[in-house]
Chains A and B, each alone.
Chain A
Amino acid sequence: MKYISEFRQQALAKQLANAIAQSVDVNRHYRLMEFCGGHTHAIFRYGVQDLMPDNVEFIHGPGCPVCVLPTGRIDNAIQLVEQHDVILCTYADLMRVPASGRNSLLKAKANGADIRMIYSTQDALKIARDNPTQQVVFFAIGFETTTPPTAVAIKQAQAEQLTNFSVFCNHVLTPAAMQAILDAPQPVAIDAFLGPSHVSTVIGNQPYEVFAERYAKPIVIAGFEPLDVMQSALMLILQLNEGRHVVENEYSRAVTQQGNLKAQALMQEIFELRPEFEWRGLGLIPNSALKIKASYTDFDAELRFAMPSIKAADVKGCECPAILRGAKKPQDCKLLGTVCTPENPMGSCMVSSEGACAAYWSYGRVRG
């Protein structure tokens, strides 16, 4: 497939591996945080870690929206569908995320709640058009990649006067999470970042420059294919060797300096910053999430249904929070593979295919 198979060529992977092996300084350790779950997945699936010298370590970051959503927000969604008789539309990734009391959206659906898995926000609009007497709520999650499609749906619902449609907004922001990781009271040792692929197609290179400058961390925006990850790792290693710390763009076939200005304008029109938002693993982060602006308040499910703030505890023993901060690895968790598997996940990192535990369980546990 064009733009996929060229970026997975085995022969080039071997050459890149050799180039990396020749470039590393044997006297130092390279700790590269891949911010995105998409990179974590590529690293495990294609065995990229095994092609790296021993002193190059990937640290898995928090860039998995399903993983960082706190349990209380899933509890909110289940309450909404059970108490208000709404049709809840959600992306499939959220269905099996553990809620409080061993519940999940999947179990709530099995018990009769009208929860529908959708592929696109256009599907949610269609469900609202087809069911004019029922309230239809879209459970919106995701980073800047997934936010513009929610904005389009809200704008379209307003234009069509779809008064039975609303959005439970949980969109979060990448730069705020990066800042939280760097400013943590006991920060994880990170030398450089593999920057997000598709988040960056929307926000561009520019928002990362402050981290490269202020925190002296090299950042390379990296595509999600295995050769992209390896080339980006090489670029980071060269920056570290040379004592440079700038933003470089390996994924230039899709990412520009400014990003997608049309998508940015739409997000600015529909959403505004929440003063703070809770992230699983990272706690309350100021200015890290979006809510629907007052001018579109009719489409805000949190106001339409007066949804309360719910504090919920994670499953005891689950290391998801520390794994999301990069402080622990999946194999450090006692639950991994014993009581926690993709079929019966205890924590969100085992649910999403981008979660570090799911990636480790699917591809990493058989490594020699």
Chain B
Amino acid sequence: MCLALPAQIVAIDSITGMATASVDNVKVEVSLALVDEVVIGDYVLVHVGYALQKIDEDEALKTLALFAEAGLMSQA
């Protein structure tokens, strides 16, 4: 129920507040009613047809770096 998929915004209709998002090249209609300042190219979390939150690329990279750090710890 609380599952949400990362999807990339590929088109925005600024009049209706709806956007087209791409999940692995499958296109879905997404409402932007719950997020501000989303632009084409952004990744958002899509839940029941709504963009819930923008995904922060820098933070994603930091988390991946944390995994690598744990890997170093395991080899120490």
Chain A positions near chain B (C-beta within 8 angstroms) = 1-4, 6-7, 12, 15-19, 21-23, 36-38, 63-66, 91, 93, 119-123, 141-143, 145-146, 148-149, 152, 196-199, 201-202, 223-224, 227-228, 231, 234, 250-255, 260, 262-263, 266, 352, 354
Contact = CB atoms under 8 A, between A and B. Distances in A.
Contacts of A231: 63, 66-67, 70
B36 interface: yes
Given A234-B70, A253-B60, A149 B35 contact: no
A120 B50 contact: yes
B33 A152 contact: yes
Contacts of B24: 1
A201 B34 CA distance: 11
8 contacts: A16-B70, A37-B2, A119-B48, A197-B4, A201-B4, A250-B63, A260-B35, A262-B34
Given A15-B71, A253-B59, A149 B6 contact: no
Nearest to A9: B67
A23 B69 CA distance: 14
Nearest to A3: B6
B52 A120 contact: no
Contact of B71 (A19, A152, A223): A19
Interface string B32-74: 0111100000010101111011011101101110111011011
Interface of B: 1-6, 8, 23-24, 29, 31, 33-36, 43, 45, 47-50, 52-53, 55-57, 59-60, 62-64, 66-68, 70-71, 73-75
Contacts of B60: 3, 6, 253
A66 B1 contact: yes
B48 A15 contact: no
A183 B26 CA distance: 45
A38 B3 contact: yes
Given A22-B73, A122-B31, 16 more contacts: A4-B6, A6-B60, A38-B3, A120-B50, A143-B1, A149-B48, A149-B50, A198-B52, A201-B53, A223-B63, A231-B70, A253-B57, A254-B56, A260-B52, A262-B34, A262-B36
Contacts of A149: 31, 34, 47-50
A198 B8 contact: no
Contact of A197 (B2, B23, B35, B55): B2
A21 B73 CA distance: 11
Contacts of B74: 15-19, 21-22
B1 A122 contact: no
Contact of B59 (A7, A197, A252): A252
A255 B74 CA distance: 27
Given A1-B24, A146-B47, A149-B49, A93 B1 contact: yes
B71 A12 contact: yes
B70 A201 contact: no
B33 to A, nearest CB: 5
Contacts of B56: 252-254
B16 to A, nearest CB: 10
B2 A3 contact: no
Residue of B29, B34, B62, B64 with most partner-chain A CB within 10 A: B34
Contacts of B2: 36-38, 63, 65, 142-143, 145-146, 196-199, 354
Given A19-B70, A142-B2, A266-B34, A1 B45 contact: no
A121 B60 CA distance: 30
A142 B1 contact: yes
A272 B47 CA distance: 23
For the complex of A and B, the 3 pairs showing the least CB-CB separation, nearest first, are A120-B49, A15-B71, A18-B74
Contact of B52 (A65, A263, A352): A263
B42 to A, nearest CB: 12
Residue of A65, A119, A122, A224 with most partner-chain B CB within 10 A: A122
A84 to B, nearest CB: 25
B63 A148 contact: no
Contacts of B50: 120, 148-149, 152
A1 B34 contact: no
